[in-house]
Chain A
Amino acid sequence: MFAVQAYAVYLIVSLGVTVWVARMLHQNGRVFLIDAFQGKQDLADSVNKLLVVGFYLINVGWAVSALETSAPLDTVRAAIELVSSKIGTILLVVGGMHFLNLFVLNRFRRNGLERYAPPPIPPDTFAQLVR
């Protein structure tokens, strides 16, 4: 009875949240990546876009495939409960993906910093090399 309305609310909210989080990641992940790639902006932008594409694919894919229900939505209450529990699952998935993304960004950054790290201890002395 309320199935179509419930689906509509579910899709709007879950896709809206996905888009919002993806834009957030896209905007704020850029700084991380530029730092990780030693200021190479085009490389950072490219990796950033690819990460966001992966994020969209997984989240939208999950949200769409979790849409279907066989519950008889006879009352408004049943519809609200179903939509709420489904949106809750989507939020948890998006949250998990978000932290995974942060982890990946930080991993990139740390590897980049490590790769170009100077010797951590100043030399004890300078040798004169015999050539």
Chain B
Amino acid sequence: MRTLYILYDSRCGVCCQIKRWLEREPSYLPLRLLAAGSPEAVLLFPRVPREELVVIADTGESWFGDNAFVITLWALRRYRNWSLRFASPALRPLARRAYAALTSQRYLISRLLHLDNEGLATELASVPLPACEVGE
């Protein structure tokens, strides 16, 4: 396992915030953060669902949802100990519930915290501006 691909929801501000945090964190192995549904992600992983956090290793192992969240922590130098704790039977249910709560309310939380939304911005930017019609 040499690289982890992390597919995140770029339409949610919280997710984009976490993505920017992940880019700054030192990790044990290189992380490639791809917006789910982006051309690059579709090219690499055409059949991966768009709605969920997905982590895929370059060797093919894939994790979804809260498992993917724990694996993401596992990749980080400063948080691997937390990942091992969250994976233990004692904390597993708590991690699962916390992830479920966060993920189901992620758009609401993003709106409340006024977190900017990269995905929407790129989607809007990809719409061509209407050409100006020359007035008479």
Contacts and interface: CB of A to CB of B under 8 A. Distances in A.
Interface of A: 110, 114-115, 117, 119-121, 123-130
B70 A120 contact: yes
A120 B46 CA distance: 27
B45 A117 contact: no
21 contacts: A114-B84, A119-B63, A119-B74, A120-B74, A120-B83, A120-B86, A120-B87, A121-B71, A121-B87, A123-B61, A123-B63, A124-B62, A124-B63, A124-B64, A125-B64, A127-B48, A127-B56, A127-B62, A129-B44, A129-B56, A129-B60
Q: How large is the interface on B (under 10, 10 to 19, 20 to 34, 35 or more residues)?
A: 20 to 34
B60 A126 contact: yes
A131 B36 CA distance: 18
A119 B1 CA distance: 10
Given A127-B45, A129-B58, A121 B80 contact: no
B81 interface: yes
Contacts of B84: 114, 117, 120
Nearest to A125: B62
A120 to B, nearest CB: 3
Contacts of A117: 74, 80, 84
A129 B59 CA distance: 8
A119 B61 contact: yes
A110 B83 CA distance: 14
Nearest to A130: B44
Given A110-B81, A121-B70, A129-B56, 19 more contacts: A114-B80, A117-B74, A117-B80, A119-B1, A119-B61, A119-B71, A120-B71, A120-B74, A120-B84, A120-B87, A123-B62, A124-B63, A124-B64, A124-B67, A125-B64, A126-B61, A127-B48, A127-B62, A130-B43
Contacts of A124: 62-64, 67
B90 to A, nearest CB: 13
A123 B57 CA distance: 10
